[in-house]
Amino acid sequence: MKKNDRVQFIQDCLDKEYPTTPIPLTHGNMFELLVSVLLSAQCTDERVNQVTPSLFSLADNPKKMSEISKDDIYKIIKPCGLGPKKSKAILHLSKILVKDYQSSVPESFEALESLPGVGHKTASVVMSQGFGHPAFPVDTHIHRLAQRWGLTNGRSVTQTEKDLKRLFPIDSWNKLHLQIIFYGRQYCTARGCDGTKCYICRTCYPKRINPKKTKKS
């Protein structure tokens, strides 16, 4: 199967399997989404969703968050991992949002990525899922599947993002990145599929016998 055919097949398959793509992280406003995405680094969405109700009942906006202590934040978010680093970032970015952005989450990659604890992937999630701007956040699932499906060489997450943006139409990015994540969690898992077992891998590469080695993000 040629790459263009694979791309179309993958998109058709994912559209059929996941016609709707609910945002995995539970949130009530843009600030809660930003904090939730920050917490999801090296943590499952499920765990984040278990932790954030307690955090947001204490502070659901930058002003309230900036007025509580780092220790109070840490005690709540500790189960998400990297607690000291994340609690410090949440407190610091909240103060910046109050001081420089009138307690609002900025609507630009540059401004978001200037905030403590916010990298390109986190900014991309907020821009796409929060503000609706075209973006293609690449997490471990997307990085793994893009390699298994022959869409990138996997040299880096940055390269994977560039390759996927080049292959798929811009109006599909916001939905597609979630569809790939859902498929990676359900069918093409890190251990459950090695590039030879799930439906998309088998259809795209029917002659592949050996497991497809993938580079980690």
Residues classed as catalytic: 121, 139
- CA-to-CA dists, residue 87 to 63, 84, 215, angstroms: 15, 5, 30
CA 158 to chain centre: 14
Residues 6 or more apart whose CB falls under 8 angstroms from that of 39 comprise 48, 51, 52, 77, 80, 86
Total Cβ atoms within 10 A of residue 192? 11
119 vs 113: CA distance, rounded Å: 5
Angle at Cα 81 formed by Cα 79 and Cα 87, nearest 5°? 90
